[in-house]
Amino acid sequence: MAAKNDTQSKILDVAETRIRVSGYNGFSFRDIAADVGIKSASVHYHFPTKADLGVNVMHGYTERLLEYLGDPEDNNVSAKALLQRYIDRYHQCLIKDKAMCLACMMGAEASSLPEVVAQEVARFFELNIAWLKTVYQRIDSNEKKKKLKAKALHLLATLQGALIIARTMGNTKIFERISSEFVH
């Protein structure tokens, strides 16, 4: 379900922010309603249950990332530039959004999430790994499939972890120091 009207997209927007700061267990429908300027019953009209909202927030986040990243096989952009673009997105979480990656936050909570929400988080990771594998293959076309996946997993994991540590320690340089090792 894509946001069809203004209120729905506002709800998704503020819910995403809330979850990225406090987690799925850390926000309420009344929080969302207050942020949007409506009542919680109206939020339930658009998203009957909290799981519905969670799934749609996660799905929209994934689609937005994929759109930002673009086609990993687009030859108008170098593979290394694509890799940098990927890293930049996490850097934006830290600097611009001042929030966690949504998938990282809900991934940590995964085992206490409604099943449908947890599956949507897993989908985010799957698509990230597939995109990164394609990019890494362009960087080294002779690389074995297993090694490509290992590289994709490694970058994804490190960026997620770096975001947590940098934010907890209140030091953005920590993220920059870690992520800079992936651009040569």
Partner DNA sequence: GTCTATAATTTGATAGAC
Partner DNA sequence: GTCTATCAAATTATAGAC
Point out which residues bind its own copies (CB under 8 A). Answer: 21-23, 25-26, 98-100, 103-105, 107-112, 118, 121-122, 125-126, 149-150, 153-154, 156-162, 164-165, 167-170, 174, 177-178, 181
Q: Rounded CA gap, 69 and 87, in Å?
A: 10
Q: Looking only at Cα atoms, what is the longest distance across the chain?
A: 57
Can you say whether the dihedral through the CA atoms of 113, 94, 159, 85 is positive or negative? positive
Q: Does 48 bind DNA (CB under 7 A)?
A: yes
Of 25 and 78, which has the nearer Cβ to its own copies?
Answer: 25
Q: Rounded CA gap, 140 and 125, in Å?
A: 22
Gyration radius (Cα) of the chain, Å: 17
Q: Rounded CA gap, 61 and 124, in Å?
A: 9
Q: Find which of DNA, its own copies, none residue 170 binds, CB within 5 to 8 Å per kind.
A: its own copies
Q: Rounded CA gap, 100 and 95, in Å?
A: 10
The amino acid at residue 71 is D
3-state secondary structure 130-145: HHHHHHHHHHCCCCCH
- Choosing from 1, 2, 39, 165, the residue that interacts with DNA (CB under 7 A) is 39
Q: Find which of its own copies, DNA, none residue 139 binds, CB within 5 to 8 Å per kind.
A: none
Q: Find which of DNA, its own copies, none residue 76 binds, CB within 5 to 8 Å per kind.
A: none
The number of residues in the chain equals: 184
Q: Does 20 bind DNA (CB under 7 A)?
A: no
Q: Find which of DNA, its own copies, none residue 77 binds, CB within 5 to 8 Å per kind.
A: none
Closest approach of its own copies to the CB of residue 106, in Å = 8
Structure tokens at 148: 């490509």
Segment lying near DNA (by CB under 7 A), choices 21-29, 82-90, 153-161, 165-173: 21-29
Q: Does 9 bind DNA (CB under 7 A)?
A: no
By CB under 7 A, name the binding residues for DNA.
Answer: 4-5, 7, 27-31, 33, 37-42, 44-46, 48-51
